[in-house]
Structure 1
Amino acid sequence: MTETDAQHEAVSPLRAHWFDRPDPLERPVVVTGVFDVLHVGHVRFLRSIAERGLPLVVGIESDQRVRAWKGPGRPVNPADERAETIAALACVSGSFVIEGSPEVADWTAYSDVLRPIAPAALAFTEGDRYTHAKIRGAEALGAQAWELPFTPGRSTTAALGRLAHSL
C-alpha cells in the first residue's frame, strides 16, 4: 500500500468500485448486502424497491468482508460475479462492490462511501441487524429510509443449509 493509499484509507475506510454504473446516475435507491446465492427473497425485495419508480443500485460486500462476517466457506460466489448477477436483473440499474476492512460497518463509513451517489433512499429488510445504523446513515445523506418486508425462510444461509441436507 502506498502512502497515498494509506492516507485515503485513513480518511475513507470503505471504498466502492462500480461494476455497472448507470449513466446518468440520478438519485437512486441504494441497497447494500452480500447477495451471495440469488434467491426469491432477493428478487422480491429488489423488485419491490424498483416498483417505487426510482433507479436502484446495489452495493455488494467484498469477499474479504463477507468471509470475516460469515466464515471461511463464504461467499460462495466472488464479489464481481455477484455484482454482475445482480446488475443483470431488470429491476436493477447498476451495482458496485464495497471494499475495506471487515471491522468497518458503521453508518458514518457507509455514509462517506455512498455520499457521491447522492441516494434518494436507502432500503433494507425488516429485521436487518443494521436497521438503526441504516436509518442514521439515510438521515446523514438527506435520504429516506425504506424498510421492506423480509421473505421468511428465504436467505442464502437457509438455501445453503437446504442444499447441504439434500446431498
Structure 2
Amino acid sequence: MTDTDTDATHDPDTALSARWFERPDDLVRPAVVTGAFDVLHVGHVRFLRSIAERGLPLVVGIESDERVHAWKGPGRPVNPAEERAETVAALGCVTGSFVIEGPPGVADWASYADLLRPLAPAALAYTAGDRYTQAKIRGADALGAQAWELPFTPGRSTTAALGRLAHSL
C-alpha cells in the first residue's frame, strides 16, 4: 500500500477486487488486515491472535499470487493464494478470509479503501514498523475505522523462515 495522494475515481480495469474464501453471512464491522501470509509462522499467529483479542471479528485479505510475486520476487509466493486463504481461515481467531486480486502496481491507500469499504471495517490492523503505516492510517481514516498498530515479532517473518530453511538444507 503506497501513500499516494490521489482521491480520483479508480478505473475498474485497475481496481482491486476481493474473491472470498470464507465469508460469514452475519459479518458486521470487522477488524481487517491484509498481507501475503505466505508461509504461516508464529509471528503471523501472534499478530492475528492479538487483533482478535480486541473483540471484533477478524477478516484477513490475502494478496494474490501475481501481486506477491511482483513484490517479493522469484520463488514467491511459496503457497498459492487459495491455500494461504484456507490456512488463515482455519485459525480459530480468524472469522473469514478473501484473496485480493488486481494489478500489482495498484497498491495505494485509496484503492484499498475502495476494496474494503463494503465491509465497513471498524479497524484496520498493521504491524509496528510496516513501511506502509502512513498509508494504512489514511485508509482507516477514509473508512471511518480505527488504525491498530500491533507489535512485530522480531526475527519471525516468511523471508527469515525461508532463509533458515535454505541454510539448513
Tell me, yes or no, whether TM beats 0.5. Answer: yes
TM-score normalised to structure 2 length: 0.93
For residues 82-140 of structure 1, the C-alpha deviation after alignment (integer angstroms, 9 at most, x for no partner) is 00000000000000000101011100000000000110000000011110000000000
1:26-77 CA deviation, whole Å, 9 max, x = no partner? Answer: 1000000000000000000000000011000000000000000011200000
What TM-score results when the alignment is normalised by the length of structure 1? 0.94
Q: Which amino acid letter does the alignment assign opposite residue 47 of structure 2?
A: F
AA of the residue aligned to 1:126: A
* SS of match in other structure, 1:80: helix
**By how many angstroms is 1:8 displaced?**
2.7
Name the counterpart of 1:9.
13
Superposed CA RMSD in Å reads 0.8
Which residue matches 1:44?
A: 46
The counterpart of 2:90, out of the listed 78, 84, 88, is 88
Q: Quick one: distance in 1 between partners of 2:47 and 2:77?
A: 20
The runs of 5 or more residues in structure 2 that have no matched partner are 1-10
* Greater helix proportion: 1
Segments of 4+ moved more than 6 angstroms? none
Pair 1:25-2:43 in alignment: no
AA aligned to 2:136 is K
Residue 119 of structure 2 corresponds to residue 114 of structure 1: no
Distance 1:8 1:32 in 2: 21
Q: Distance in 2 between matches of 1:82 and 1:111?
A: 22
Q: Percentage identity across aligned positions?
A: 82
**CA distance, structure 1, for counterparts of residue 24 and residue 140 of structure 2:** 21
Within the candidate set 18, 34, 37, 2:36 is matched to: 34
Give 2:99's match in structure 1, choosing from 97, 100, 106: 97
Aligned residues: 159
Q: Which amino acid aligns with 1:9?
A: D
Q: Structure 1: give runs of 5+ residues left out of the alignment.
A: 1-6
Corresponding residue number in structure 1 for 2:156:
154
